[in-house]
Structure 1
Amino acid sequence: MNDFELQKLVEFISVNDFGKPFKHKAYFNPRLRTTGGRYSLTTHNIDINPKQFEYHGQGELEKIIKHELCHYHLHLEKKGYMHKDDDFKLLLKQVGGTRFCKTLPNTRSSSSKVHIYECRKCGVQFKRRRQFDTSKYVCGKCKGRIKKVVTNLVR
């Protein structure tokens, strides 16, 4: 599906499910990572995450479009368009949109580093995904100094 087909689909869903036309632009935005779509309050355009369509198909895409169209129509009508508003929740339920999009498969590499630290006083070891400055922190058990033991590559 390309941007032109997406635009036609959004216009069709808007007229068919909401009874109102969609007069702005809808397009795929590959920069979206953590969300299925986005409605812009200033331009009134709708961005859609193309990975949602790739991984979950047409059905999930239509639910995301309905969600963004709820924001669109309620904002233009000067009603409660935010997720917390009752107007939004009611309209979303009426048209069958989704409140949250499905999660995408993890695109990060499966291997990651694990940093192992040890208390110099009591000897307790602990693992962290993120490295930290040992001069700024002390052991939570005995308040002793901490040293870095090793960094392992976990798969």
Structure 2
Amino acid sequence: MEDKDLQRLTEEISLAFFKVPFQHNATFNPRLKTTGGRYLTSTSNIEINKKYYDALGIEELVGIIKHELCHYHLHIRGRGYKHRDQDFRKLLKEVGAPRFCTPIHTASTKPKAFRIYKCVDCQQIYKRIRKVNTIKYRCGKCRGKLEEMQKNVDIKE
């Protein structure tokens, strides 16, 4: 699917579900990492993450487009278009748009490894993703010396 196909699909969904034409641009944005799409209030354009279409198919793409069109049509009319607004939540239900997109697991969403540090004096444990300079930094509880216990332990949260 290319940008012109996405534009046509977005215009069709807008007419079918909202009964109002979509008069701006819908494009794929390869830089989106953690979201299915976004509505740009400054230009009224919609950007979609192509990875969601590739991984989950056309139905997920249609859901993301409906969600972004809810933002679009409410913003154009001057009504509450943000996630917390009642107008937005009501319109989501009316058109059957998802509030959140289905998460896809990519290399950028894998759990990060972290390091475990322990205070020599009070035994306080610290988990950090970045390496801590144990000469420069001390325990926040008792000001004792820190020592590294384990490296590269996977986070399971």
Give, in whole Å, the separation in 1 of the partners of 2:42 and 2:34: 21
Aligned to 2:27: 27
The SS at the match of 1:70 is helix
Give, in whole Å, the separation in 1 of the partners of 2:77 and 2:124: 60
The runs of 5 or more residues in structure 2 that have no matched partner are none
User: TM-score scaled to structure 1, two decimals?
Assistant: 0.85
Aligned to 1:105: 105
Tell me the percent identity.
46
Cα shift at 1:4: 0.8
Aligned to 1:46: 46
Aligned to 2:138: 137
8 Å CA contact 1:139, 1:146 repeated in 2:
no
Cα shift at 1:131: 1.8
Deviations 1:73-111 (A, max 9, x none): 111111111111111111110001011111120314969
Q: Does residue 60 of structure 2 align to residue 63 of structure 1?
A: no
Deviations 1:115-155 (A, max 9, x none): 24232335666553332233333164x5521123563476x
8 Å CA contact 1:119, 1:139 repeated in 2:
no
Aligned to 1:37: 37
- Decide whether aligned partners of structure 1 residues 92 and 145 sit closer, same or farther in structure 2, where only a CA change above 3 A counts: same
In the alignment, residue 81 of structure 1 is paired with which amino acid? Y
- The alignment covers a number of residue pairs equal to 153
8 Å CA contact 2:80, 2:87 repeated in 1:
yes
8 Å CA contact 1:139, 1:145 repeated in 2:
no
Give, in whole Å, the separation in 2 of the partners of 1:3 and 1:12: 14
Give, in whole Å, the separation in 1 of the partners of 2:125 and 2:22: 58
Structure 1 residues 11-20 or 102-111, which shifts more?
A: 102-111
8 Å CA contact 2:37, 2:48 repeated in 1:
yes
Cα shift at 1:112: 5.7
Which aligned segments of 4 or more residues in structure 1 are displaced greater than 6 angstroms? none
Give, in whole Å, the separation in 2 of the partners of 1:136 and 1:60: 47
Structure 1 residues 21-30 or 143-152, which shifts more?
A: 143-152
In the alignment, residue 82 of structure 1 is paired with which amino acid? K
The SS at the match of 1:89 is helix
